Amino acid sequence: MATTPLLAMVRKDLQLFFSDRRAVIMSFAVPIAIASFFGSIFSGTNRNEPARISVAIVDQDDSPISRLVLGGAEADKNLRVSTSTVDEARDLVKRGKISVGVVIPKGFGERAGQAFFGNGEKPPLDVLYDPSRNIEVAMVRGIMTEHIMQAVSREMFGGEQGRVLVQKALPEIEASKMPDDQKKALVDMLKSVNSFYSRPGAGADANRGPRGITMPYTVNEQAVTSGENVAYNGYAHSFAGMGIQFLLFAAANLGIEILLERQRGLWRRLRSAPVSRITLLGGKMASMTIVCLMTLLVSFTFAIVVFGVRVQGSLLGFLGISLACSIMAASFGLLIAALGKTPAATRGVTTLAVLMMVMLGGAWVPTFVFPQWLQQLTIIVPARWAVDGLDAMTWRGIGVSGAVVPVAVLLGFALLFWGIAMSRFRWEEA
């Protein structure tokens, strides 16, 4: 391969790139701005505290049990609870101000107490929810279950309402058509409870009051990052994702530039020179790779300096993935130039292709939110290997071994794209 023409092509493409202010901004400033935004969302304001879910609770019952439920919810670190009327709660959900409204209806405490021992109809708990926030609804459902079970059992085993309900339940059970052996067992248990109530200070812990049923375990959560006491930095993922996205956009633009060059007759001049096809596309590939690598490294340098992102794994692996990713993106740009017809038509299709690629690659949201079949499918998306690889080298803190497979796969994609581009490129200039 002749080096003088090759170097001239690289130099010329870089000159053109840096002379285009729009291209430079799109490649460097925009990914930093968007990644910073996404990073701030995913990192939260305080990394040690979870984001609270806003819930409105409507207590129409105002019973000891409903008040215990409300108190438990208010004390929960996962919820931000407000109280309101049903109409207010519905309006807040409708406007998207809160994700869930919980209505504790009149008589809920009494009926829940009866149902607790299986001899009454279960009372409904009305839940008003925003269908666009299903994940939060599921979380609230679980949290409310915990507080209701705790409140009902606590009241049933030690509260005044429980005492009344047990005394009321005994004759009802005696009169029921329950099988005798079951009836006896239940009556014996309730009598024991009744006798428990008769003791002075029954059921009450000297210091903490009656406890009822509680969660029989505590959770010791440990974020698995690159090491102990190393907090997860959401900016690492967002800069990887946005870096890949804009690197692909940069490569796509350079591919479209080739189409524009053809439209302006420049390829007639290039092809009339005694330069091989490999030199021509190799020069393009080299300049695109340099631009892509700069895009990625500038973004990450910003993230390191401003947001404290660190390459916790292997620096060599990080650079290897960055380079492989840039080569893959450059070959993607060539593929666009080879398959595209006109610049305008190609731009639209390319934008869609890049967005699909980065979306499926987990650049916007992690791939675990996808259905299982889609998660499997995304292994054919190069952006996924790039994002996963950069995550591995940054906040996951995996060593150079974690870079081997992503680098190999990305270079494999690059080879595939290059091969298709070489075979499909329109070499003849009529």
Partner 1 sequence: MLNVNGLRKTFGTLVAVDDVTFAVAPGELLGLLGPNGAGKTTTVSMIAGLLRPDRGDVLVGGSRLERDTDPVKRRIGLVPQDLALYDELTARDNLRFFGALYDLAGSALDKAIATALELVELGDRARDKVKTFSGGMKRRLNLAAGLLHDPDILLLDEPTVGVDPQSRNAIFDNLETLKRRGKALLYTTHYMEEAERLADRIVVIDHGRVIANDSLSGLQALAGVGAGERATLESVFLTLTGRSLRD
Q: Which residues contact 109 (CB under 8 A, 6 or more apart)?
A: 61, 63, 64, 65, 66, 152, 155, 161
> What's the burial of 339, exposed, middle or buried (CB within 10 Å: 0-12/13-18/19+)?
middle
Q: Does 19 bind partner 1 (CB under 8 A)?
A: yes
- When the beta carbons of 20 and 91 are compared against partner 1, the nearer one is 20
Which of 8-16, 27-35, 149-157, 248-256 is the region at the interface with partner 1 (rule: CB under 8 A)?
Answer: 8-16
What whole-number distance in Å separates Cα of residue 158 and Cα of residue 166?
11
CB atoms within 10 A of CB 260: 15
- When the beta carbons of 11 and 424 are compared against partner 1, the nearer one is 11
- When the beta carbons of 261 and 388 are compared against partner 1, the nearer one is 261
Q: Does 94 bind partner 1 (CB under 8 A)?
A: no
Residue whose structure tokens are 């993607």: 332
Backbone angles phi, psi at 101, to 5 degrees: -120, 130
Q: Which of 187, 202, 213, 270 binds partner 1 (CB under 8 A)?
A: 270
- When the beta carbons of 83 and 276 are compared against partner 1, the nearer one is 276
Q: Does 192 bind partner 1 (CB under 8 A)?
A: no
Which of 87-95, 101-109, 258-266, 354-362 is the region at the interface with partner 1 (rule: CB under 8 A)?
Answer: 258-266
Longest Cα separation, the chain: 105
Q: Does 4 bind partner 1 (CB under 8 A)?
A: yes
- When the beta carbons of 4 and 372 are compared against partner 1, the nearer one is 4
Which of 219-227, 268-276, 334-342, 411-419 is the region at the interface with partner 1 (rule: CB under 8 A)?
Answer: 268-276
- When the beta carbons of 11 and 94 are compared against partner 1, the nearer one is 11
- Structural tokens at position 334: 């060539």
Q: Does 277 bind partner 1 (CB under 8 A)?
A: yes
Which of 81-89, 116-124, 262-270, 296-304 is the region at the interface with partner 1 (rule: CB under 8 A)?
Answer: 262-270
Q: Does 8 bind partner 1 (CB under 8 A)?
A: yes
Tell me how long the chain is: 430
CB of 342 to partner 1, least distance (A): 16
**For 273-381, where are the alpha helices, taking DSSP H only?**
277-307, 315-339, 343-360, 372-377
Q: Does 46 bind partner 1 (CB under 8 A)?
A: no
Go through 289-310 and write b for each residue having 16 or more CB atoms within 10 A of its CB, e for each that does not.
bbbbbbbbbbbbebbbeebebe
CB of 4 to partner 1, least distance (A): 5
What whole-number distance in Å separates Cα of residue 273 and Cα of residue 264?
17
- When the beta carbons of 275 and 410 are compared against partner 1, the nearer one is 275
- Structural tokens at position 101: 């409204």
String of DSSP letters for 362-384: TSSS-GGGS-HHHHHHGGG-HHH
Percentages (nearest 5) of helix, strand, coil residues in the chain: 65, 5, 30
Q: Which of 132, 207, 229, 272 binds partner 1 (CB under 8 A)?
A: 272
Q: Does 201 bind partner 1 (CB under 8 A)?
A: no
Given a contact cutoff of 8 angstroms between Cβ atoms, the answer to whether 408 and 323 are in contact is: no
- When the beta carbons of 9 and 89 are compared against partner 1, the nearer one is 9
Q: Which of 14, 20, 91, 349 binds partner 1 (CB under 8 A)?
A: 20
Q: Which of 266, 306, 352, 405 binds partner 1 (CB under 8 A)?
A: 266
Q: Which residues would be at the binding site for partner 1 (CB under 8 A)? A: 2, 4-5, 7-9, 11-12, 15-16, 19-20, 264-266, 268-277, 428-430
